């Protein structure tokens, strides 16, 4: 193992980066006048900003280090989450995104009220805030602090958590979503650049040989189709779990979809989503394969998640290490800022605004900023507690697998089936989420049954479908507003609208080409 000693030059480069990002965020806060502008940036986001900020928020500090660690320990199977995310994002851009933008909703729970009823909105809003603060935000803070402690071993964990929370939440309090998206775009570019540099350096260390890369993989690790009894990611789990978790994350999670709701137009939203889709595929090369190749350089690491910082300190010269440190900080900040702004948006739009209709814009904006600060403090306080649960960070994906399937069923069912009555969503969520929590406790903690969580995700999907379909068949079809459910007429109308676009601008052609290319690349690693 190399000595993780951070030089003064590297610290200076990272500090300059952080100060610059904070300054940009504060500068963008000058024109905030109301809560809608604060949470949706005036609905003026253009497609490059949407696409890169989506990618950046997805690539949290946990993922940035964890993908390389997974490549080191298990091979390339973890890439299934990324290339499947590409296909889901293409589907989202073509079939779902227009409904969200045309509805002019401020939050995803609000869309549920338009399609179903207010009860569904409240349940999903509460669920979204809970998972955003106690799972996404606190988990990212804890995992990020553990990684930073490797570089700064003398600093207490709680101090690092406080610093990361302050960096990620400081400019969000003042700047809102516009600050989040602009700074996330800068951070996303930095992440891609540093990841590419590390890949090239490690590849050169292995003699620039693809055969050497294959030879570095653990046994059975150079395939995305692992055996059905694999503990980490069995190939049937791609279809029983990975694809549905991708649908939850990319099409229903408000923290993510909020960036699309801020789009200047449907076209910009679609192009941005497709750009984000295209950026998921390279993660195999800029993060996962460097970790895999690192097995040749560091065959005896005690912790697999140490491989990325080990490669940085072994291969990069002083100066570039500072850039890599800045990239790690960027990954941490880009997750925290998105989660804090998104969860405050739900609290304001789904709970406070409906009750306080007499509040003016200035008061609502002040409350919005206060909530971001409150959620930041709560997440920072809860983050150290996660350590007392042992390995709970690695259970986060399985937790989401068990509890989010009712959400996926309710959204997709409502968007593509006009028959479900308005009360179907509430009861599916009210029954399915508690059952999912109980199943998670029974299978993952108590280990009553040895069940790989992706299979458990599939079982929860089937149960949620049974509840949803059962209620639908016993109820009467509702009278729906236009633009809430996809129909043949929807496709026909959009075909007419898209006919005026050039082929390279048409999202259908772009999406189809991207899907074919992605599947072709994935098949190369089966």
Residue 128 domain-assigned (yes or no): yes
Has residue 3 been placed in a domain?
A: no
Q: pLDDT > 70: what percent of the chain? A: 96
* 326, 109 Cβ separation under 8 angstroms: no
Instruction: Tell me whether residue 356 is in a domain.
Output: yes
Q: Is residue 1 part of a domain?
A: no
The predicted pLDDT at position 145 comes to 85
Task: Give the pLDDT confidence score for residue 427 in this predicted structure.
Answer: 97
d(CA 254, CA 134): 15
Q: What is the pLDDT of residue 113?
A: 94
Q: What is the per-residue pLDDT for 239?
A: 96
Assess whether pLDDT exceeds 90 at residue 346: yes
What is the overall mean pLDDT for the chain?
88
How far apart are the C-alpha atoms of 76 and 182, rounded to whole Å? 31
Q: Where residue 208 falls among pLDDT bands split at 50, 70, 90?
A: confident
- pTM over 0.85, yes/no: yes
Cβ neighbours around 474 below 10 Å, total: 9
Structure tokens at 438: 């109980």
Identify the band that residue 230 occupies on the pLDDT scale cut at 50, 70 and 90.
very high
In a domain, 514, yes or no: yes
Cα–Cα distance, 450 to 448 (Å, whole number):
7
**Residue 406 above 90 pLDDT?**
yes
Which of 24-38, 228-242, 286-300, 401-415 is the least confident region?
24-38
Helix (H) or strand (E) holding 375: helix 361-386
How far is CA 102 from each of CA 3, 81, 111, 300, 414, rounded to the nearest angstrom? 54, 29, 11, 54, 16
pLDDT at 392 over 60: no
The residue written with tokens 């003398």 in the block is 154
Does position 391 have pLDDT exceeding 60, yes or no? no
Mean pLDDT of 260-280: 94
Contact 485, 414 (CB under 8 A): yes
Of residues 238 and 502, the one with the higher pLDDT is: 238
Per DSSP, the three-state class of 234 is strand
> How many domains in the chain?
1
Q: What string of DSSP letters covers 110-179?
A: HHHHHHS-HHHHHHHHHHHHHHIIIIIIHHHHHHHHHHHHHH-TTS-HHHHHHHHHHHHHHHHHHHHHHH
Is the per-residue pLDDT at 223 higher than 90?
yes
Question: Which of the residue ranges 172-176, 263-267, 447-451 would you say has the lowest mean pLDDT?
Answer: 172-176
Rounded Cα gap, residues 295 and 219, in angstroms: 12
Token pair 């280990």 is found at 447
Note whether residue 359 is domain-resident: yes
The CA distances from residue 225 to 220, 237, 526, in Å, are 9, 10, 5
For residue 293, tell me if it sits in a domain.
yes
Distance (Å, whole) CA 85 – CA 81: 6
- Which residues are 45's β-sheet partners? 263
Give the lowest-confidence range in 20-24, 194-198, 275-279, 389-393.
Answer: 389-393
- How big is the CA angle at 283 (ends 11 and 82), to the nearest 5 degrees? 130
Q: Which has the minimum average pLDDT: 24-38, 141-155, 478-492?
A: 24-38
Residue 375, domain member (yes or no): yes
Is the pLDDT at 62 greater than 70? The verdict is no
What pLDDT does residue 482 have? 67
> Could you tell me which residue, 335 or 189, shows the higher pLDDT?
189
394 pLDDT band, cuts 50/70/90, is low
Q: What is the mean pLDDT of residues 404-410?
A: 97
Residue 24, domain CATH: 1.20.1730.10
**What pLDDT does 252 receive?**
96
Query: Could you tell me the two tokens for 368?
Result: 């919005």
- pLDDT for 396 beyond 80: no
- Provide the β-strand partners of residue 456: none
Q: Structural domain of residue 425, as residue ranges?
A: 8-523
- 60 has a pLDDT exceeding 70: no
Residue 387 has a pLDDT of: 67
């Amino acid at each position: 193992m190399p000595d993780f000693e951070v030089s003064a030059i590297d610290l200076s480069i990272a500090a300059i980066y952080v100060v610059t990002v904070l300054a940009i965020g504060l500068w963008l806060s000058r024109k905030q006048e109301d809560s809608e502008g604060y949470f949706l940036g005036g609905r003026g986001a253009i497609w490059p900003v949407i696409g890169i900020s989506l990618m950046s928020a997805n690539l949290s500090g946990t993922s940035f280090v964890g993908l390389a660690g997974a490549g080191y320990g298990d091979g390339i199977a973890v890439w299934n989450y990324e290339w499947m995310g590409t296909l889901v994002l293409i589907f989202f851009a073509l079939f779902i995104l227009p409904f969200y933008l045309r509805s002019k909703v401020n939050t995803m729970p609000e869309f549920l009220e338009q399609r179903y009823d207010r009860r569904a909105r409240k349940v999903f809003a509460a669920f979204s805030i809970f998972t955003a603060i106690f799972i996404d935000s606190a988990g990212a803070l804890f995992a990020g602090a553990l990684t930073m402690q490797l570089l700064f071993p003398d600093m207490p964990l709680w101090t690092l958590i406080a610093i990361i929370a302050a960096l990620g939440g400081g400019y969000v309090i003042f700047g809102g979503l516009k600050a989040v998206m602009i700074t996330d775009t800068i951070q996303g570019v930095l992440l891609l650049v540093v990841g590419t540099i590390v890949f090239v350096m490690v590849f050169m260390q292995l003699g620039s040989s693809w055969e050497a890369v294959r030879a570095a993989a653990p046994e059975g690790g150079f395939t995305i189709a692992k055996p059905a009894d694999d503990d980490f990611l069995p190939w049937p789990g791609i279809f029983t779990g990975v694809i549905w978790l991708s649908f939850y994350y990319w099409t229903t999670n408000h923290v993510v979809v909020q960036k699309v709701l801020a789009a200047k137009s449907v076209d910009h939203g679609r192009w941005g989503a497709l750009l984000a889709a295209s950026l998921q595929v390279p993660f195999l090369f800029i993060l996962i394969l460097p970790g895999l190749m690192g097995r040749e350089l560091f065959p005896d690491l005690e912790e697999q998640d140490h491989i990325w910082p080990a490669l940085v300190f072994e291969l990069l010269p002083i100066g570039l290490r500072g850039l890599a440190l800045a990239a790690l900080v960027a990954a941490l900040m880009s997750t925290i800022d998105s989660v804090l702004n998104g969860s405050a948006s739900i609290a304001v739009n789904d709970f406070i605004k409906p009750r306080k209709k007499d509040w003016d814009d200035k008061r609502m904006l002040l409350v919005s900023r206060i909530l971001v600060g409150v959620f930041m403090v709560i997440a920072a306080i809860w983050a150290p507690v996660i350590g007392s649960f042992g390995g709970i960070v690695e259970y986060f994906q399985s937790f989401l697998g068990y509890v989010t399937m009712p959400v996926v069923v309710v959204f997709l069912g409502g968007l593509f089936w006009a028959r479900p009555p308005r009360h179907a969503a509430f009861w599916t969520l009210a029954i399915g989420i508690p059952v999912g929590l109980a199943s998670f406790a029974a299978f993952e903690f108590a280990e009553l049954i040895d069940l790989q969580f992706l299979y458990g995700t599939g079982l929860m999907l089937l149960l949620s479908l049974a509840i949803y379909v059962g209620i639908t068949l016993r109820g009467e079809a509702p009278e729906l507003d236009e633009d809430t459910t996809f129909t043949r007429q929807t496709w026909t109308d959009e075909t007419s609208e898209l006919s005026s676009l050039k082929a390279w601008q048409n999202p259908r052609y772009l999406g189809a080409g991207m899907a074919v290319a992605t599947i072709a690349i994935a098949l190369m690693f089966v």
